[in-house]
Copies of this chain bind each other. A is one copy, B any other.
Amino acid sequence: MATDAQQACFEAGIKFGSLYHQFAGTPVSPSSTRSLEAAMAEAIENQPFCESVSVAIHDDRVADAIDHENGYTELTGSLMDVEMRIAYEGVTVRTRMTMRDGYPLMELVGVDDEADGTPGSGTTN
């Protein structure tokens, strides 16, 4: 059977894939970044075991991506940073999406299992 930590990581991945593929492609401009950030975070926080989501869409990157004539672009991973915390049966998983070599990478930041009795064990920072 899968361990609680493995299950927690599976749940964390589900949230990341959901967030990305639900909202990628959304029309966005510097005037609509705040409402989109809030909606993305609150939508995914509805999902089971999801403790917190923070989404930061960078206005300057959005502005740079806009073709003059249209005044907006479509949301992609390169325009935002995302952090999430998932909690499952005493295991807390922290994840983030950031740019790495020009490519938006979803990654596990830390897996903390209370049952280990070692606070912070299993984390990368």
Contact = CB atoms under 8 A, between A and B. Distances in A.
Interface of A: 1-3, 5-7, 9-22, 24-29, 31-32, 35-36, 38-40, 42-48, 67, 69-72, 74, 76, 93, 95, 101-103, 106, 108, 110-111, 122-124
A11 B14 CA distance: 9
Given A11-B13, A14-B16, A16-B13, A111 B2 contact: yes
A32 B43 contact: yes
Q: Is the interface of A mostly helix, strand, loop or mixed?
A: mixed
Nearest to A5: B6
The 8 closest A-B pairs by CB, nearest first: A13-B13, A17-B17, A39-B39, A46-B72, A17-B18, A32-B42, A24-B25, A13-B14
